[in-house]
Amino acid sequence: MNGASGFTAEVAVVGGGPAGLVSAIALASSGVETVLIAPATQDDHRTTALLAGSVTALATLDVWSACRRDAAPLATIRIVDDSKRLLRAPEVCFNAAEIGLEAFGYNIENRHLLAALSTRAAQLKLSRVAVPAVALARDSEGVTVKLAEGAARVRLVIGADGQRSFCRAAAGIGTDRRSYPQTALTLNLEHDRPHRDTSTEFHTESGPFTLVPLPGRRSSLVCVLDPMQAAALASMPDAELSDEIERRAHSLLGKMRVEAGRGMFPLAVETAHSFARERIALVGEAAHVVPPIGAQGLNLGLRDAATLVELVADARRQNADVGGPDLLARYDAQRRADVTSRRIAIDLLNRSLLTDFLPAQAARGLSLYLVERVGPLRRALMREGIAPAVSQPRLMRGEMA
Ligand SMILES: Cc1cc2nc3c(=O)[nH]c(=O)nc-3n(C[C@H](O)[C@H](O)[C@H](O)COP(=O)(O)OP(=O)(O)OC[C@H]3O[C@@H](n4cnc5c(N)ncnc54)[C@H](O)[C@@H]3O)c2cc1C
């Protein structure tokens, strides 16, 4: 595999989750020699709400056409205060049409998204190795990635290897991590009534209970609960759980039937102290983890991938080092504001649900009242919710990196 220079490729992407696959496909599509180090992924029954910019990026990379029939549009987002508290917030509805869009984005099962990405990677004849990376050795010229079998020598390693990132540890990058006293129970279900492309978020004292449309009369559920309650629900037989979820959803979608495959995800927020260091750059959950509230996690991860690939493609056009310190410093600086602002917004919203502190509840109620009543504020919030006002990488604007 080694060329005359002794390098296997210019860039190695470690991790075959969605952030890694998108990074590798975007690099290969921009003509950057790439090796994807991706052991087989585990079964994932979750779904991802991909916001408009992510959908544009996938369309630009010729992936979206293979996803579209398995994805449901999110035309309306409804927030309902379902708490028993003294101060309750008014119901708020966000319609994509109000900001001139057909949909805020689309919800798709992760297995379909990963399959579409893998197919595109194969079409591009991306060099792919199905064993894990086990060691990284850096020098002034490049990085040697030791694999469970064999090795690769590259100028830049993109660590897309998830929450317990091996690349992050190998780069000596620490994190700030905080756990919440909550667990998300996830599953998909069928229901008797149509969802009308509307995602409904019930805000309860333990966290949001969110139903997100899937094609047909199906939805995915992310139910954030106290860990004991989540475990109790997760252990119920199908029929009992279906009735319990229908009760919690106030029969909004009629009779419900849960499908096979339940997930439990303890909630935490974690941010790497740096998103890049000495020829190693982090994308996706290797760089930041946010609670599954407001569908931000992977959308942030895809903006990481798009930003980094744009910098690499530009460096390559200028015959500059794609793993050089200037490029990595620019990447870190360009991603920090977006990640920090989303993390703070999600944290504030989550804490305002958990707190019994009356002034905090009043502030949340007032904010939602203003959002409901003041059109320009609501529209600004919708635009910021789907894409940051600060720079959008080229892929998210429909241009190749
Ligand atoms: C309940 C829930 C709901 C969510 N809903 C949404 C949503 O609606 N919208 C949204 O934007 N986000 C959502 N998210 C967040 C989203 O799921 C994550 O951001 C996303 O899955 C992270 O992708 P990733 O590629 O960074 O990491 P991962 O999917 O974790 O992939 C990492 C990969 O790296 C591999 N790996 C690990 N170590 C090595 C190694 N040494 N060598 C090689 N490979 C390695 C692993 O096998 C894995 O395949 C949700 C999260 C949760 C928990």
Cα 285 to ligand 1 centroid, rounded to whole Å: 6
Q: Whose CA is nearest to atom 27 of ligand 1?
A: 162
- C-beta separation of 332 from 274 below 8 A: yes
Q: Which residue shows structure tokens 């495959």? A: 261
Q: What percentage of residues in the chain have a pLDDT greater than 90?
A: 78
Task: Fill in the amino acid letter for 181.
Answer: P
How far, in Å, is the centroid of ligand 1 from the Cα of 314?
Answer: 27
Q: Is the dihedral of CA 109, 44, 294, 169 positive or negative?
A: negative
For 182, the enclosing helix (H) or strand (E) is strand 175-191
- Strand, coil or helix: what is 113? helix
* Residues 127-176: tens digit of each pLDDT: 999 999 999 999 999 999 999 999 999 999 999 999 999 999 999 999 99
Dist. CA 222 → ligand 1 center (Å): 16
Ligand 1: residue of 285, 293, 302 to mutate (most ligand atoms within 8 A of CB) is 285
Ligand 1 centre from 17 Cα, in Å?
A: 6
Closest ligand 1 atom to residue 163 Cα is 30
CB of 304 within 8 A of CB of 332? no
322-376 pLDDT, tens digit each: 999 999 999 999 999 999 988 988 888 777 766 666 666 666 676 666 666 676 7
Structure tokens at 94: 């966000």
> Which atom from ligand 1 is nearest to the alpha carbon of 290?
15
Which of 13, 48, 350 has most ligand 1 atoms within 8 Å of its beta carbon, as the pocket-test mutant?
Answer: 48
Distance from the alpha carbon of residue 362 to the mean position of ligand 1, in angstroms = 35
> Using CA of residue 246, residue 247, residue 249, residue 250, what is the dihedral sign?
positive
Residue-wise pLDDT for 266-310, tens only, equals 999 999 999 999 999 999 999 999 999 888 899 999 999 999 999
Res 43 pLDDT > 70: yes
Cα(203)–Cα(216) distance, integer angstroms: 25
Residue 334 to residues 77, 275, 313: CA-CA distances in angstroms?
29, 10, 16
Span from the CA of 157 to the centroid of ligand 1 (angstroms):
18
Ligand 1 mean position, distance from CA 254 (Å): 32
- Consecutive H or E run containing 382: helix 375-386
pTM for this predicted structure: 0.94
Say how far apart CA 137 and CA 21 lie, in whole Å: 23
Pocket lined around ligand 1, Cβ cut-off 6 Å: 14-20, 37-39, 41, 46, 48-49, 132-133, 160-162, 166, 184, 186, 222, 265, 284-285, 292, 295-299, 301
Distance between Cα 299 and ligand 1 center (Å): 11
From ligand 1's centre to the CA of 356, what distance in Å?
32
Is the pLDDT score of 2 beyond 60? no
For position 63, what pLDDT does the model report?
Answer: 98
258 has a pLDDT exceeding 90: yes
Q: What is the distance in A from the centroid of ligand 1 to the CA of 162?
A: 5
Q: Count CB neighbours of 230 within 10 A.
A: 22
Q: Looking at the CA of residue 161, tell me the nearest atom of ligand 1.
A: 34
pLDDT of 4 reads 42
Does residue 369 sit in helix, strand or coil?
helix
By CB atoms closer than 10 A (0-12, 13-18, 19+), residue 86 is exposed
Query: What is the pLDDT averaged over residues 211-234?
Result: 97
CA–CA separation, 267 and 283 (whole Å) = 20
For the residues of 313-346, what is the DSSP string, one character each? HHHHHTT--TT-HHHHHHHHHHHHHHHHHHHHHH
Q: Which of 14, 50, 154, 161 to mutate to test the pocket of ligand 1 (most atoms within 8 A of CB)?
A: 161
Residue 346's pLDDT is 87
Pocket test for ligand 1, best of 21, 22, 35, 46 (most atoms within 8 A of CB): 46
